[in-house]
């Protein structure tokens, strides 16, 4: 692997890629006038996703859909809501209309049972300024830079497992306030944590000591099972897929500051298709967002073919799966101390 410090200026390559992305966007907007109605498209995607979640829930609760099918289907609409949250952070829908954005954020927060969208807004905008550096809070909270391990998978599942990396992040960025992030998402964290741990414990108790488990009210059994199937388990699958794909499409620590060229790779290997389906093809399209942030998620998908073609011409890395061994570094990691 080459050292970024030895590379010539990437400015012409960055400009060529951004020009190709914007050119394809202009071509698409000229041929598809409906793309101009961005607020309407965003709201339509929001309402359709909420309706899809309600339909899956109804089908499961009515007995028409088995539990495993509900768990596999539910991440799809939630992943669209996550993309809408990200676009709202960049003010791509209902700019300046905080009431509408707030309603959408609140709905998304409960659908995802994850961090507060309001708190994430600051982290994500800071990520664009400091991508791949030690003070890149957003990516470090989902495991970037950690060696491949069970903890890296666990931290990808939910922010409640990120405590081990928080002190290191605070040393790199003393202004980081994890207590604020915890307080702003406390109701969602409580529901997620309670169901994640209580439902399996109750199921095990039912198996090992049915007489004792029978003393737990049936309503609690039903509530835990319903929340696990419809929200917690789907979000474990969705968030873990998203966090692993996201962290492994970013480079970390040994890349130049403020140089977009070294921040990401195109990650669209066929073996990752199941995970990509759970996070709206994030690995293939997130790099486009770094070059041109002001595009909604559906437009990134539409420009991807042309964008990737120019990126590959300019030498952007593609399916660099060895990034796992290198712990997200661009070059070889330093030898581990014994």
Q: What is the pLDDT of residue 334?
A: 79
Q: What is the pLDDT of residue 81?
A: 98
d(CA 228, CA 182): 22
Q: What is the pLDDT of residue 7?
A: 52
Q: What is the pLDDT of residue 59?
A: 98
Instruction: Answer yes or no: are the C-beta atoms of 22 and 303 closer than 8 Å.
Output: no
Q: What is the pLDDT of residue 333?
A: 84
- Angle, helices 75-89 vs 98-112, to 10°: value is 140
Instruction: Answer yes or no: are the C-beta atoms of 117 and 108 closer than 8 Å.
Output: yes
For the segment 268-283, what is each residue's pLDDT rounded down to a tens digit? Answer: 999 999 999 999 999 9
Bridge partners (DSSP) listed for residue 250: 264
| C-alpha pair distances (Å), 118 with each of 121, 124, 255 | 5, 10, 29
**Residues of the chain predicted below pLDDT 50:** 5-6
Instruction: Answer yes or no: are the C-beta atoms of 192 and 113 closer than 8 Å.
Output: yes
């Amino acid at each position: 692997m080459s050292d970024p410090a030895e590379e010539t200026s990437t400015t012409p390559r960055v400009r060529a890629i951004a020009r190709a992305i914007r050119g394809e966007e202009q071509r698409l907007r000229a041929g598809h006038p409906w793309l101009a109605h961005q607020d309407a498209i965003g709201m339509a995607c929001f309402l359709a996703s909420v309706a899809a979640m309600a339909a899956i829930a109804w089908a499961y609760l009515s007995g028409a859909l088995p539990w495993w099918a509900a768990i596999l289907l539910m991440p799809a609409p939630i992943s669209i809501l996550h993309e809408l949250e990200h676009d709202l952070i960049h003010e791509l829908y209902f700019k300046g209309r905080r009431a509408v954005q707030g309603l959408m954020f609140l709905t998304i927060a409960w659908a995802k049972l994850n961090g507060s969208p309001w708190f994430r807004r600051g982290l994500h905008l800071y990520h664009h300024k400091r991508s791949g550096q030690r003070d890149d809070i957003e990516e470090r909270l989902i495991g970037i830079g950690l060696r491949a391990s069970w903890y890296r998978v666990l931290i990808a599942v939910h922010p409640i497992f990120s405590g081990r990396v928080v002190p290191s992040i605070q040393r790199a960025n003393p202004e980081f306030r994890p207590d604020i992030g915890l307080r702003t998402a406390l109701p969602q964290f409580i529901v997620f944590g309670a169901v994640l741990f209580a439902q399996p414990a109750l199921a095990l108790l039912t198996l090992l000591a049915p007489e004792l488990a029978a003393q737990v009210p049936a309503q609690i059994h039903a509530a835990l099972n319903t929340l696990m199937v419809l929200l917690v388990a789907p979000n474990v699958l969705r968030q873990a897929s998203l966090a692993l794909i996201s962290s492994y499409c970013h480079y970390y620590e040994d890349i130049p500051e403020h140089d977009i060229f070294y921040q990401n790779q195109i990650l669209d290997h066929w073996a990752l298709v199941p995970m990509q389906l759970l996070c709206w093809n994030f690995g293939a399209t997130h790099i486009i967002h770094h070059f041109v942030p002001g595009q909604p998620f559906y437009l990134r998908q539409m420009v991807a073919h042309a964008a990737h073609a120019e990126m590959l011409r300019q030498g952007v890395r593609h399916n660099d799966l060895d990034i796992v061994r290198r712990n997200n570094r661009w070059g070889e990691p330093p030898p581990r101390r014994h």
